[in-house]
Homo-oligomer: A and B are copies of this chain.
Amino acid sequence: MTHEIAVIPGDGIGQEVTPAAVDVLEAVDADFDFVEGDAGDAVKAETGEALPAETRDLAADADATLFGAAGETAADVILPLRDVVGSFANVRPARSYPGLDAVQPDTDIVFIRENTEGVYSGIEAEIDDGVRTLTRVITEDASREIAEFGFKYAKQNGFDDVTVAHKANVMRETDGLFLETAQEVGDSFDIDYDTALMDALAMHLVMHPGEYGVVICPNLAGDMLSDLAAGLVGGLGLLPSANVGEDNALFEPVHGSAPDIAGQGIANPSAMILSAAMLLDHLDYGDEATAVREAVEGVLADGPRTPDLGGDAGTDDVTAAVVDRL
């Protein structure tokens, strides 16, 4: 069965790493039709819209979407796209790789970030001169959905501990609901889990990342803690992510458009290729996903490496080396 894959390179290094991921997907034994769409600063400059309706429709109709990065307009592109694919879970694995410099080489954590609410509600108001509010929304449904997803993910992927992040001592009603619901779900699974205040968790993740497996988080906490973990393993160039919905999904590197190095052909394509591996897993090409991951790991270990990892190879060299290993 042919799967239709929407491909949205976006801006900056998105234009360089997205084709790399497509090259890899074309090299594995899978039946994909790629259809490309525009989004980001460049298309906004031309058309006035960062996310044109056609691109939106493309993602809505595809079996899955690969998204590169966007510049200034990142939020205008990625937040609606996450919504278009109906994604409630943002899955962000952060792991260190042998042979690569890392602040904490013993890191292998998957952040399961609630992807629809919290302070991402978009509900803001100026209620008086110089007084503005944002409505942080937490629902039992979304909390249950992300917790169930997270605990199931841990089970299926062989993690034996789960941590639920929250700040229920301050956000008593909202994070209280998030926490309670996650605990209810956790109690129904046969797995060890802990709960942790998100501030204390930030400290513990820095000091003892090896003690963590799956971390289930409210939206913004997941955003910050997964970036923190990116710092532990050597930077955003290595972190893929999946935005998972009921029957659609979008895959993107955690990094942005990196205007400082865009156009030079030196962007690290690993995060994007690993995002493509997550896409393969999602569409039930498990063996191919594993092969891609092993190929990336091999290249990370033996080179070639892009400058962000201390090498002097280009995006194309790294991509060719990954394809070679498949």
Q: Enumerate chain A interface residues (CB-CB to B < 8 A).
A: 74-75, 79, 103-104, 119-120, 124-126, 129-141, 167, 169-174, 177, 198-200, 202-207, 220-221, 223-228, 230-232, 234-236, 256
Contacts and interface: CB of A to CB of B under 8 A. Distances in A.
A199 B173 contact: no
B134 A174 contact: yes
Nearest to A119: B171
A228 B232 CA distance: 11
A173 B132 contact: yes
Nearest to A223: B199
Contact of A203 (B134, B141, B236): B236
B227 A174 contact: no
A227 B198 CA distance: 9
Given A133-B137, A140-B130, A220-B167, A124 B203 contact: no
Contact of A124 (B119, B171, B198, B228): B171
B231 A202 contact: yes
Given A124-B171, A169-B75, A224 B199 contact: yes
Contacts of A231: 202-207
A145 to B, nearest CB: 12
